[in-house]
Amino acid sequence: MAPLTSIRTEGNKIEIVNQLLLPHQVEWIPINTVEDAYDAIKTMKERDIPATDAAVEFVAEGRKIADEDVGRNKEMAKHGGEWVLAEAKKRGEEGDKINMMTVCNTGSLATSGYGTALGLITYLHETGKLERAYYTQSTPYHQGSRLTSFELQTLGIPSTMLCDSMVGSLFQHRKIHGIAVGADRIARNGDTANKVGTYNAAVLAARHGIPFVVVAPISTVDLDIADGTQIPIEHRPAIEAQCARGLLYPPTSPPTLATVLITPSGLDEQNGVYNPSFDVTPAELISAIVTEKGVAVRGEDGKFDLSGIV
């Protein structure tokens, strides 16, 4: 089956898919102005910022940027996939196939196509080297259980979902050969901001000796900031962590989408809910950082030199 897409064009017409409704309903939203694109990103209807930026430049240039993005994604997916396979061989792992875990959604719905960390997993599947992909629900927006699951199912990739709190248990009871995650920003020293929950996974991966790989385009690497303490962390509205959205169950006819409140009402909007969008994983917990230019690992001094991959 063809991979999913988050943006479609026809002539000078640009539309994005409303990701808040996936996987149960597909709604396309027209993007006619910069303000439309800004609103789509702010409300989480669209997360493919490079492609949305391209959209407002309108179409010919946008298509060129999107095509270049797909090419970059395939390059970094191959670099990262081959590195993980080499590490498994170096560690004496048995068998020809490996199991990978990822966090959030970093596939075709989060990029112009193919994906970054999920692209690495797709590459392993396409080359016959993937046994199974594991992915966290990635609450509170459930990008894993809604979007990553949808993409993996569409691509026919064997996969298993787990709650965010089950990562440690997974590492105890299943053989995981590597974790691949994306990045929203990477500091000069390798500290990486990504979907909240990434840091938890990195800590547990370090405890279990599992390689932890960050896969992202060079545009994500910010050599002007020394470390992760300089990365601002967005905090989302409290209500977003208090609600869940999906189909009513048991199923109704016709199917009914609903948003339900899962916490007591009346929680303090200021202090009653802690809801950051991202966390920062320290470079010391990261095994490799991958871009379309190649793979960087920590040197003998335990530090990253990212100059060769940007």
Catalogue the active-site residues. 184
Alpha-carbon gap, residue 261 to 241, rounded angstroms: 9
> Pairing between strand 98-102 and 178-181?
parallel
**Residue 258 vs residues 137, 248, 284: alpha-carbon distances, Å:** 18, 6, 42
Token readout for 244 is 């869940």
Alpha-carbon gap, residue 110 to 4, rounded angstroms: 10
Mapped to the 3 state alphabet, what secondary structure does the chain carry? Answer: CCCCCCEEEECCEEEEECCCCCCCCCCEEECCCHHHHHHHHHCCCCCCHHHHHHHHHCHHHHHHHHHHHHHHHHHHHHHHHHHHHHHHHHCCCCCCCEEEEECCCCCCCCCCCCCCHHHHHHHHHHCCCEEEEEEECCCCCCHHHHHHHHHHHHHCCCEEEECHHHHHHHHHHCCCCEEEECCCEEECCCCEEEECCHHHHHHHHHHHCCCEEEECCHHHEECCCCCHHHCCCCECCCHHHHEEEEECCCCCCCCCEEEEECCCCCCCCCCCCCCECEEEECHHHCCEEEECCEEEECCCCCCCCHHHHC
Residues in the chain: 310
